[in-house]
Amino acid sequence: MNEATRRFHGPPAAPPGGGGRLAVILAWLTVVLLAACTPVAAPTVADYLPASDAAAGWTRTDAPQTFTAETLYDLVDGQAEAFLAYGMDAAASGRYRRSDGATLRVEIFRLASQADAYGLYSVSIAGERVAVGSDGDTDPGRRLAFWSDRYYVRIQAAQPIAQNELLELGRAVSRALPAAAERPALLQRLPAAGLEPRSARFFRSELSIQSWLWLGGKNILGLGPDVEGVLADYNLHGDVARLLLVVYPNADAATSALTALQAASVDGQLTARAAENRLGAVFGRADRGLADTLLEEALQ
């Protein structure tokens, strides 16, 4: 019996005898069920790195390097804590070369959640917005960064290259990655009026926001993996202010954080208060009344 006939008629017939035929059918069903239940290995982070010629003329020069939370320092020495603050548990890096000798590196980091991937991206914004992944940021021809699902990706060229080549590589990675893009729900609490574009920085660690709000290098807010925070810039009638919102597991934690914040006398603090399990504060040189209004709306 050829393959086409077998697929049409099902399992091969057994010799005469009901018991024999039943045994053959059961054996055939067992094979089918086992094949269907065999687990498929999930892709590793390295599997998402572009193959050679994902962008015309670029060839991967060696096998991908992989990293864990314990070995991340080998990839980003001096920056590892910034990634670990978002629950990074795996990373991969690949080097690529063009025929004229130009080189670049693609790095992919897997974070604890989609919110954490957005968070790492949000504190890394340093250039122009670009349509790659869920959100993209670029220094044209030199650097591209974006996030998608639980992954944060950055591509860095050793020397200037054509922007379209940088984007081609980035989009090759983006197509391979899961496409989910659920931003932190906390962002929805940010009042829209006066909010500066691309300034909403999601965080779980004081380290992540040190460049924008100095809290003395201490965890006075009681931050951690079960706490969510956002720090965003606002234009209040021409003055720049920063709105801090933090959500805690319970109201007691929010109250304790408010007490610690008020005792710390942080520079530029205009107003601060707690509401249920949320803490809010505004910093800057803006009008105090405008700051109070902004905070009240954010804590509603």
Residue 8 lies inside a defined structural domain of this protein: no
Q: Which of 152, 176, 200 is the last residue of a domain?
A: 176
Count: domains in the chain = 2
Same domain? For 145 and 243 the reply is: no
Residue 17 lies inside a defined structural domain of this protein: no
Q: Whole-angstrom distance between the N-terminal and C-terminal Cα of the chain?
A: 73
pLDDT digits (tens, 9 = 90+) for 98-149: 999 999 999 999 999 999 999 999 999 999 999 999 999 999 999 999 999 9
| Residue type (1 letter), 63 | A
CA 205/CA 223 separation, integer angstroms: 6
CA 169/CA 50 separation, integer angstroms: 7
Task: Identify the band that residue 20 occupies on the pLDDT scale cut at 50, 70 and 90.
Answer: low
Q: Which residues contact 203 (CB under 8 A, 6 or more apart)?
A: 85, 119, 123, 209, 223, 229, 230, 231
Same domain? For 171 and 189 the reply is: no
pTM: 0.85
Sign of CA dihedral 260, 262, 267, 270: positive
pLDDT digits (tens, 9 = 90+) for 38-87: 455 788 999 999 999 888 899 999 999 999 999 999 999 899 999 999 99
Q: Span 13-28, mean pLDDT?
A: 58
Residue 199 lies inside a defined structural domain of this protein: yes
Same domain? For 52 and 162 the reply is: yes
Contact, 201 vs 232, CB < 8 A? Answer: yes
Residue 252 lies inside a defined structural domain of this protein: yes
Domain that holds residue 171: 45-176
pLDDT digits (tens, 9 = 90+) for 169-216: 999 999 999 988 899 999 999 999 999 999 999 999 999 999 999 999
Same domain? For 195 and 158 the reply is: no
Q: Which of 138, 158, 176 is the last residue of a domain?
A: 176
Give SS3 for 116. Answer: helix
pLDDT digits (tens, 9 = 90+) for 201-214: 999 999 999 999 99
**What pairing do the DSSP bridges indicate for beta strands 65-68 and 90-98?**
antiparallel
H helices present in 216-287, as ranges? 251-264
Report which of 51, 86, 106 is spatially closest to residue 224, judged by C-alpha positions. 86
Residue 273 lies inside a defined structural domain of this protein: yes
In this prediction, residue 180 carries a pLDDT of 85
Encoded tokens for 104: 């670049």
Same domain? For 225 and 288 the reply is: yes
Residue 26 lies inside a defined structural domain of this protein: no
Q: 178-203 as b/e, with b when 16 or more CB fall inside 10 Å? A: eeeeebbebbebbbeebbeeebbbbb
Q: What is the DSSP letter of 133?
A: S
pLDDT digits (tens, 9 = 90+) for 217-251: 999 999 999 999 999 999 999 999 999 999 999 99
CA 287/CA 289 separation, integer angstroms: 6
Residue 16 lies inside a defined structural domain of this protein: no
CATH number at residue 73: 3.40.1000.70
